[in-house]
Amino acid sequence: MAMRQTPLTCSGHTRPVVDLAFSGITPYGYFLISACKDGKPMLRQGDTGDWIGTFLGHKGAVWGATLNTDATKAATAAADFTAKVWDAVSGDEVLSLAHKHIVKTVTFTQDSNCLLTGGNDKLLRIYDLGSPDTAPQEIAGHTSAIKKALWCNNDTQILSAADDKTIRLWDRASMEQVKTLTFDTAVSSMEYVADGEILVITYGKTIAFYNALSLELIKTVEAPAPINSASLHPDKDFFVAGGEDFKLYKFDYGTKEELESYKGHFGPVHCVRFSPDGELYASGSEDGTLRLWQTAVGKTYGLWKCVLPEDLGAENQEQIFAAPPEIKA
């Protein structure tokens, strides 16, 4: 009998969850941050979804959130025209970086010394966090609001996606545009996989994979519904995607075959990401929750415990496999 996926539900937010990010693996495990329109980004233990704390200080919807590799710093992008940097251990606000419009995206360099931001004023900004009073470097070129910006190629280049239906690759040293990809519709999400230099892009019902350095197309996959986000497993065996039909889809990366689909959310899925160890993926939704899903269903990991049929009494067996209870974290 096939095991049934039982997602862990992470409640606490009061509005749609629009972005999420994992840290790297630290001596204390790995961590998960979520951005929400309630203006209160939350930090959680990554493998269990247990709430650790809420970063308080924004006065508007938070559109983007990220953690540095070792989970000592967090950064958030918000509708109050600021990006904020936080101490992720104490929860204290470290910096508030004023912008001229809504900020949508934030990301640290690998050494955590610089922060890249983008938003509705169409500019990319690079802040030196060691000297925050110094004016940021600014990169202009997009003609509409920037939705996502990422460092790539060992932080020597920048990838940005905007509502002008383009993805642009920039050189950090010269601050010049290197290449542009143009689409028929606005890009809904972008993920950069450093190992292999792969760029995962979603637009409409399409999930597309590009070489992040050359921007040459590797492959595209069509999903059954409009997709808002996709994430490639660290081993590159498969990828997951979520979108407007409330479902999470899992596809084989090699064959492009749909392997599974799960419904758990009660609203469109806005964001999905694999954990750094690849054991689970997290999704954030319009319904205000995050859910954690097992990559290998039935494996003992985090709060999931594998129960084999022979370990169950006959009277319990049907009940457990028929309707596993929803676990709340």
Given a cut of 90, whether residue 323 has pLDDT beyond it is no
Q: What pLDDT, on a 0 to 100 scale, did the predictor assign at position 307?
A: 72
pLDDT, tens digit, for every residue of 42-60?
999 999 999 999 999 999 9
Given a cut of 90, whether residue 165 has pLDDT beyond it is yes
Given a cut of 60, whether residue 329 has pLDDT beyond it is no
- The CATH code that applies to domain 8-311 is 2.130.10.10
Cα of 283 vs its chain's centroid, Å: 8
pLDDT confidence bin for 15, thresholds 50/70/90: very high
Domain boundaries, the chain: 8-311
Q: What pLDDT, on a 0 to 100 scale, did the predictor assign at position 322?
A: 38
Q: What pLDDT, on a 0 to 100 scale, did the predictor assign at position 306?
A: 79
